[in-house]
C-alpha cells in the first residue's frame, strides 16, 4: 500500500467513524475467520450498555473471504446475529456444496503409474474445462445462501455503507475492487498501478470470480470499463489488501487473514519427499500458498508506522491538519493450518481424496493443497475453534479497538 493512500485516509473526515472489516482469501481455511467473528460478537454483546447493531460500515473481502463478507452484508440488518448466521452456514457446508471432481473412479491412483494417470486425467479435464474442478455447486449454494435484496436493504438503511469484492483480471492483469454502495453519487474510484476500482452492484458472479482459485476453478467473465474481461481469484496480484478500506474512508480496520509466515508442512517433509524430491501435491500446495501469499503484514506495518508517527507530532500541529489516524488490528492463525488439514484429510470426498492421494497431496508438504478444499465438518469446526481461541487471546485489543463505536 502506498504511503499517500494511508495519509489520504487520515484526512478523509467522515460524518462518523467508519469501521471496516477486511477478510482475506484461502478457500476452506477461511472458516477460521468465522470463529474470530463469533468470539468478537460474544465480546460485543457483553459490553456495558451494549447495542446489538452491526459493528462494521465497510466490508471488504477477497476470494472465500469475499463470500464471508457478502454473506454478512446480507444479514447485517440483524445486527450481531449476522455472525451467528454465518457460523450456521459454515456448519452446514460440505465439499460437494462447493465443487465437484468429475474423473473416473477406475483410475488406480496409487503407485507410479497411478500418479501418472492421475496427473494425465486431471490435466485433460483442465484443458477441456479450463479448470480441474467444477464450481457449479458453489454457484447454487451462494444463490440459496446470500440474499442480494437484503444487501440492498442494508445499504439503503445505512446499516452498512459499502461492500467491496476484489478479483484479478486474466485479460488485463489488473487487480479490480468492485464496490457496491447505496448512493447515486459513488465516491471517486481510484486508479493505481495494476489496481483499479469500479462502483457496481455486487452479484453472485462477482463472488464466483473472486473465489476462482487458478487451475482449480474456471475463470468468470465480468464487465468492467464497458467491456467483458475474464477474472480469477482476487488473491492473485493482491499487493495491497488494506488499500480498498483506506480509499473507502475507514478509520478503523479489523483484518482477518489465514496465512502464516512459515508453513510447517514445508519445513518437515516425508521420507519419500526427502529421497525423491517433492511430490506433485507438494509442488501444487507450494504454488497455492504462493497465490494466497498476501502482503498483509507489510500493509499493517505501513499503516501502523504512519499512525505512530502522526501521534508523535505536536498536538497543535495535528489539530491544525485535521488528521485522524487509521487504526489497524490484524488477526491470523496461531497454529499451522497445513498441519490441521493433514489430520482431517480423510474427511474429503472419496474421489477427491483418491486424486489428492495419487498426487501425494494428502500428507506431508502436500497437505497444504488439501487445506483449501476441506469444506468438511471436522476441519471447519477445528478452524472455527482456533479462531475463537485466537480472538479471546486478544480480547483486550479487540475491546479497545471497538471502544466508543
Q: Are 61 and 164 in contact (CB under 8 A)?
A: yes
Residue 340 or residue 186, greater confidence: 340
Give the Cα separation of 230 and 101 in Å (integer): 22
Q: Are 237 and 168 in contact (CB under 8 A)?
A: yes
pLDDT at residue 387 in the model: 98
- DSSP class of 100: B
pLDDT at residue 319 in the model: 57
Parallel, antiparallel, or unpaired: how do β-strands 327-331 and 220-224 relate? unpaired
Q: Break the chain into its structural domains and give their ranges.
A: 17-260+278-402
223-246 tens-digit pLDDT? 998 899 999 999 887 778 898 998
> Which of 3.40.50, 1.10.1200, 1.10.3470, 3.40.1090 is the CATH number of 17-260+278-402?
3.40.1090
Average pLDDT in the 287-306 region?
62
* Model confidence, pTM: 0.85
pLDDT at residue 301 in the model: 64
Q: Enumerate long-range contacts of 230-233, CB under 8 Å, 24 or more apart.
A: 230/169, 230/170, 230/171, 231/167, 231/168, 231/169, 231/170, 231/176, 232/167, 232/168, 232/170, 233/25, 233/63, 233/167, 233/168, 233/291
**Dihedral sign of CA atoms 144, 210, 82, 162 in order:** negative
Average pLDDT in the 68-88 region?
98
Question: Catalytic: which of 41, 121, 210, 233?
Answer: 233
140 is a catalytic site residue: no
pLDDT at residue 367 in the model: 67
Confidence of residue 318 (pLDDT cuts 50, 70, 90): low
354-397 tens-digit pLDDT? 777 666 555 555 567 888 999 999 999 999 999 999 999 999 99
Q: Which three cell numbers stand for residue 12?
A: 478523509
Residue 130 or residue 119, greater confidence: 130
| Residues contacting residue 362 through CB under 8 Å, at least 6 positions apart | 281, 342, 345, 348, 353, 356, 370
Q: Which three cell numbers stand for residue 25?
A: 482469501
Residue 280 or residue 19, greater confidence: 19
Least confident of 4-18, 144-158, 227-241: 4-18
Question: Catalytic: which of 63, 168, 265, 282?
Answer: 63
- Measured from the Cβ of residue 156, the count of other Cβ atoms closer than 10 Å reads 11
What is the DSSP secondary-structure string of 106-160? TS--SHHHHHHHHHHHHHHHHHHHSSSSB-HHHHHHHHHH--HHHHHHHHHTTS-
Confidence of residue 271 (pLDDT cuts 50, 70, 90): very low
Give the Cα separation of 121 and 103 in Å (integer): 7
63 is a catalytic site residue: yes
Confidence of residue 265 (pLDDT cuts 50, 70, 90): very low
Confidence of residue 128 (pLDDT cuts 50, 70, 90): low
167 has which bridge partners? 176
Q: Which three cell numbers stand for residue 390?
A: 485466537
What is the DSSP secondary-structure string of 322-333? T----EEEEE--
pLDDT at residue 72 in the model: 98
Residue 327 confidence (pLDDT) above 80: yes
Q: Are 322 and 240 in contact (CB under 8 A)?
A: no
Q: Which three cell numbers stand for residue 116?
A: 501418472
Amino acid at each position: 500500500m502506498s504511503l499517500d493512500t494511508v495519509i489520504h485516509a487520515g484526512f478523509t473526515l467522515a460524518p462518523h467513524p467508519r469501521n471496516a472489516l477486511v477478510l482475506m482469501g484461502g478457500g476452506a481455511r477461511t472458516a477460521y475467520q468465522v470463529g474470530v467473528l463469533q468470539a468478537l460478537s460474544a465480546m460485543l454483546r457483553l459490553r456495558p450498555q451494549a447495542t446489538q447493531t452491526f459493528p462494521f460500515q465497510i466490508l471488504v473481502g477477497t476470494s472465500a473471504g469475499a463470500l464471508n463478507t457478502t454473506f454478512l452484508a446480507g444479514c447485517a440488518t440483524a445486527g450481531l446475529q449476522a455472525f451467528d448466521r454465518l457460523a450456521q452456514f459454515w456448519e452446514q457446508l460440505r465439499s460437494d456444496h462447493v465443487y465437484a471432481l468429475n474423473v473416473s473412479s477406475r483410475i488406480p491412483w496409487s503407485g507410479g503409474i497411478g500418479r501418472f494417470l492421475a496427473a494425465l486425467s486431471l490435466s485433460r479435464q483442465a484443458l477441456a474445462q479450463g479448470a480441474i474442478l467444477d464450481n457449479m455447486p458453489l454457484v447454487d449454494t451462494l444463490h440459496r445462501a446470500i440474499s442480494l435484496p437484503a444487501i440492498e436493504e442494508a445499504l439503503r438503511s445505512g446499516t452498512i455503507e459499502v461492500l467491496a469484492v476484489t478479483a484479478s483480471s486474466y485479460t488485463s492483469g489488473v487487480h479490480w475492487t468492485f464496490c457496491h454502495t447505496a448512493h447515486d453519487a459513488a465516491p471517486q474510484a481510484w486508479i493505481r498501478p495494476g489496481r483499479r476500482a469500479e462502483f457496481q452492484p455486487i452479484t453472485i458472479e462477482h463472488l464466483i470470480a473472486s473465489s476462482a482459485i487458478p487451475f482449480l476453478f474456471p475463470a468468470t467473465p465480468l464487465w468492467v470499463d464497458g467491456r467483458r474481461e475474464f477474472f480469477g481469484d482476487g488473491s492473485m496480484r493482491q499487493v495491497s489488501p488494506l488499500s480498498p478500506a483506506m480509499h473507502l474512508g475507514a478509520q478503523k480496520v479489523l483484518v482477518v487473514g489465514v496465512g502464516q509466515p512459515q508453513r510447517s508442512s514445508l519445513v518437515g517433509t516425508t521420507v519419500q519427499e526427502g529421497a525423491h524430491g517433492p511430490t506433485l501435491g507438494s509442488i501444487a500446495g507450494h504454488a497455492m500458498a504462493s497465490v494466497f501469499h498476501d502482503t498483509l503484514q507489510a500493509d499493517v506495518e505501513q499503516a501502523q508506522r504512519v499512525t505512530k508517527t502522526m501521534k508523535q507530532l505536536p498536538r497543535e500541529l495535528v489539530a491544525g491538519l485535521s488528521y485522524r489516524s487509521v487504526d489497524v488490528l490484524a488477526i491470523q492463525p496461531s497454529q499451522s493450518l497445513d498441519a490441521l488439514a493433514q489430520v482431517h484429510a480423510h474427511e474429503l470426498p472419496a474421489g477427491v481424496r483418491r486424486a489428492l492421494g495419487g498426487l501425494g497431496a494428502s500428507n506431508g508438504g502436500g497437505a497444504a493443497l488439501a487445506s483449501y478444499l476441506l469444506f468438511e465438518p471436522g476441519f471447519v469446526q477445528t478452524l472455527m475453534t482456533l479462531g475463537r481461541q485466537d480472538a479471546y487471546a486478544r480480547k483486550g485489543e479487540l475491546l479497545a479497538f471497538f471502544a466508543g463505536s
